[in-house]
Structure 1
Amino acid sequence: MKTISTTILVALTFVFTGLIQAQDFQGKAYYMSKTTIDMANFGRPGMDEDMKKRIADRLKNALEKTYILTFNREESVYKEEEKLDTPGGGSSGFGRMMMGNFVAGNQYKNIKTNAFLQEQEVFGKKFLIKDSVPSFEWTMTGESKKIGQYTAFKAIGKKLKYGLDVNFGRPKPGEENKEEALTPEKEEIEVVVWYTPQIPVSQGPSDYWGLPGLILEVNEGRTTILCSKIIMNPDDKETIKVPSKGKEVSRAEFDEISKKKMNEMRQNFRRGGGRPGGGRR
């Protein structure tokens, strides 16, 4: 296998200029994101399997989402596709509170300036995460497969794990007062992606980028992101807007804020309460 740094791959990307010569070039890619739950460690001790299955089925709607990546040669914005809620399809209990009070907004990245911005909302308070795009060192495996009409190639990389890693169940006996829900700092995880040089832009869903072609599939832990449709140079081009709303914080600062709010919410949920801090922000 051959390892190529992100910097070299970005340079290689611009060798393939056939599709992106036009100054107003733009593309749209639609992705389905699915996250599975570790059912072996799900729920409170002694919960029967039928109950686990019913809860997992209700969480499924919240853990399967469709996103749209709008991109050009240098910029992209990744946002959730708006859709109507399915009646009775939401989660319940702690899961519902978590989903309703930690709301992810648009993600923007500029691979020329290395800028990364994301809007986030926590209990009604808006934040603007401002950071650099992550640096990947991709290992090319030489494997290929078809994704729709495109030939995709496999690459393996590592990234820092950010954000909350939530167990929706109740705590185990003796762990009622234990703070939890945030992945340890600077934990590296392996990711597997598939990209296509047939669309020669160094873009991808979420914060992924850095390959000589659009990333069509991502496998990260229990989450899979798969491209289902691509529209090249749509008739109605969309302005790629840089997110600007919310209190500016770094990614590390936002994780600390989320961890604090999550643990407050867990404690209130265990006591049968509501919002963290009794509704204070």
Structure 2
Amino acid sequence: MMNFRYTLSTFLLIIAVNTAFSQNVRFPTEGVIEYTKTVNMHALIKRNISSMNNSFYQQAFEAYKKSQPQFKALKSTMKFGADKTLFMPLATKETASGGFFGNEPAANQNNTVYTDLSTGLTTSQKLVYEDTFLVKDSTRKITWKITDEMREIAGYNCRRANAIMLDSIYVVAFYTDQIPVSGGPESFSGLPGMILGVALPHENMTWFATKVTDAAVPANTLVAPAKGKAMDLKGFNTYLTDALKSWGDYAKPALKAFML
């Protein structure tokens, strides 16, 4: 009899705990997500060292290692509503610029990205050195392969998905269906829930959410950027390819970084 009462009490306690937990779980359709982009600068710089620039680059790299951290961290926020997202880089508070390597495209945040999920259109304001472009096109189509791997990010259970984008970039993303908005940082989207983590292992960079604030977002703050030379994605790619054609081996990584 005692065993039965103990088992019943335990069972009822489990139900109570699960009920309380379920009542506290929210599925926000609007709010603000804070992300940190992390770049392994040592790996990034090593990739750009070749026989053509070895003597200069290696010397500059040794100087960089003595004065700068291996990992560069950059902050951003993304406001989201039920069918719109606005990803915005935050100004860096670094006291040092990183010297010669401070302008590496992959080591900075060049894009402000507005996505209208209801129309499938994206407006990206892209900073390319001293120039500003306004790229309007369809939302990037990424063919995701969803896996069974799970991890927690910023308090949310997330599932892993893999993909190849821009023909050669391997992408690992973690999304949560607890935020039922098909968005993500930068131009990453297209999963059945919000993307809270992205890793580009071969590019040596990641974006991971550090905080999710479940709060109302006024519609007038989810507005596409308007400044920049307007063109579509194909035109932007053609423009960059032509502009960088004299850069030799360095053109490819620079083009890849600006196209993300």
Provide TM-score, normalisation by structure 2. Answer: 0.70
Rounded to whole Å, the distance in 2 between the matches of 1:59 and 1:256 is 35
Q: Which of 200, 207, 219 is residue 187 of structure 2 equivalent to?
A: 207
More helix by share: 2
| 112-121 vs 31-40, greater mean Cα deviation | 31-40
For residues 93-242 of structure 1, the aligned pairs below 5 Å read: 93=100, 95-96=101-102, 104-160=110-166, 187-220=167-200, 221=202, 222-233=204-215, 239-242=221-224
Rounded to whole Å, the distance in 2 between the matches of 1:57 and 1:225 is 26
Residue by residue over 1:15-40, the C-alpha shift from the partner in whole angstroms, topping out at 9 and shown as x without a partner, is: xxx735xxxx5211111112223454
| 38-47 vs 216-225, greater mean Cα deviation | 38-47
Rounded to whole Å, the distance in 1 between the matches of 2:32 and 2:73 is 20
> SS at the partner of 1:28?
strand
Query: Is 2:80–2:217's contact at 8 Å kept on the other side of the alignment?
Result: no
Rounded to whole Å, the distance in 2 between the matches of 1:148 and 1:59 is 28
| 224-233 vs 132-141, greater mean Cα deviation | 132-141
**How many matched pairs?**
214
Q: Which of 231, 235, 246 is residue 249 of structure 1 equivalent to?
A: 231
Quick one: percent identity of the two aligned structures? 21
What RMSD in Å do the two structures reach over aligned CA positions?
A: 3.1
Query: Is 1:31–1:67's contact at 8 Å kept on the other side of the alignment?
Result: yes
Query: Is 2:175–2:196's contact at 8 Å kept on the other side of the alignment?
Result: yes
Rounded to whole Å, the distance in 1 between the matches of 2:46 and 2:194 is 35
Residue by residue over 1:150-195, the C-alpha shift from the partner in whole angstroms, topping out at 9 and shown as x without a partner, is: 11111112222xxxxxxxxxxxxxxxxxxxxxxxxxx232211111
> SS at the partner of 1:108?
strand
Query: Is 2:111–2:186's contact at 8 Å kept on the other side of the alignment?
Result: no
Summarize the Cα distance change of 1:242–1:47 in structure 2 as closer, same or farther, 3 Å threshold. closer
Summarize the Cα distance change of 1:122–1:45 in structure 2 as closer, same or farther, 3 Å threshold. closer
Q: Which has the higher contact order (CA 8 A, sep 6+)?
A: 1
Rounded to whole Å, the distance in 1 between the matches of 2:72 and 2:206 is 11
Aligned match of 1:90 = 97
Q: Which of 38, 48, 69 is residue 78 of structure 2 equivalent to?
A: 69
Stretches of structure 1 lacking an aligned partner (at least 5 in a row):
1-17, 161-186, 268-281
Rounded to whole Å, the distance in 1 between the matches of 2:209 and 2:77 is 9
Deviation for aligned residue 1:208: 1.2
Provide TM-score, normalisation by structure 1. Answer: 0.65
Aligned match of 2:32 = 28
| 143-152 vs 53-62, greater mean Cα deviation | 53-62
Rounded to whole Å, the distance in 1 between the matches of 2:82 and 2:66 is 40
Rounded to whole Å, the distance in 2 between the matches of 1:237 and 1:225 is 26
Deviation for aligned residue 1:91: 2.4
Query: Is 1:30–1:69's contact at 8 Å kept on the other side of the alignment?
Result: yes
> SS at the partner of 2:144?
strand
